[in-house]
A and B are shown apart, each in its own frame.
Chain A
Amino acid sequence: QVQLVESGGGVVQPGRSLRLSCAASGFTFIHYGMYWVRQAPGKGLEWVTFIWYDGNNEYYADSVKGRFTVSRDNSKNTLYLQMNSLRVEDTAVYYCARDPLGSGSYIDSWGQGTRVTVSS
């Protein structure tokens, strides 16, 4: 079955960096577009970034553009999110998610999330 397992979350000071990983299994990773979606404590879902199945196109929310970078290693079935210049408002649970059409249409599978806390 489809499995998405996030890791790399933790507590970090403002201005520092963190890299999240998402290990995918149970499906042919290279065939799918992938998202990062976050949810601040007690708040709703916020789209962060989307990367095409082949890694050739990436899109970012304005709130993270220029600070976050999404990438994928299709040989390792792994999605990454490099987060730089972190701010208190980046505190959230970060979900890795799969797009079956590879073009940003909808999400059919979600990971369980990894918590990122930005605090001094």
Chain B
Amino acid sequence: QSALTQPPSASGSPGQSVTISCTGTSSDVGFYNYVSWYQQHPGKAPKLMTYDVNKRPSGVPDRFSGSKSGNTASLTVSGLQAEDEADYYCSSYAGSNIVFGGGTKLTVL
């Protein structure tokens, strides 16, 4: 049950695009299309941003998009806005368990 690997930080200026990576193994990210991404602002509960690799819940702006290649999943935030500054966590189903990434702090410069 090892955590997925995310970069600790990422940043971009308003209007730019940023991509956050999430690396797992052939037993989780690489095997299942159950990768999801969550946004968490300080002191708040996480919020689902994408699921099943590249699907977006209703209400989430289409500036957020998910993808996957092999054992690595990615979240791209286009047209960065100040309110996108938050922590982002990836997650993957792994058979009889679920694993999260360590989190990436996204800073909007």
Contacts and interface: CB of A to CB of B under 8 A. Distances in A.
Nearest to A100: B51
Interface in B84-105: 87, 89, 91, 93, 96-103
A61 B1 contact: yes
Contact of A106 (B48, B97, B99, B103): B48
Contacts of B46: 45, 95, 107, 110
Interface residues of A, number: 20
Interface residues of B, number: 25
A104 B99 CA distance: 10
A106 B38 CA distance: 10
B31 interface: no
A68 interface: no
Contacts of A110: 45-47
Given A44-B103, A113-B45, A62 B89 contact: no
A89 interface: no
Given A44-B89, A44-B103, A45-B103, A108 B96 contact: no
18 contacts: A44-B89, A45-B38, A45-B40, A47-B97, A50-B97, A61-B1, A61-B97, A62-B1, A104-B93, A105-B52, A105-B93, A106-B48, A106-B51, A106-B93, A107-B36, A108-B48, A110-B45, A112-B45
Interface of B: 1, 3, 34, 36, 38, 40, 45-48, 51-52, 57, 87, 89, 91, 93, 96-103
Which 6 pairs across A and B sit closest by C-beta, in order of nearness? A106-B36, A44-B103, A110-B45, A106-B51, A47-B98, A45-B100
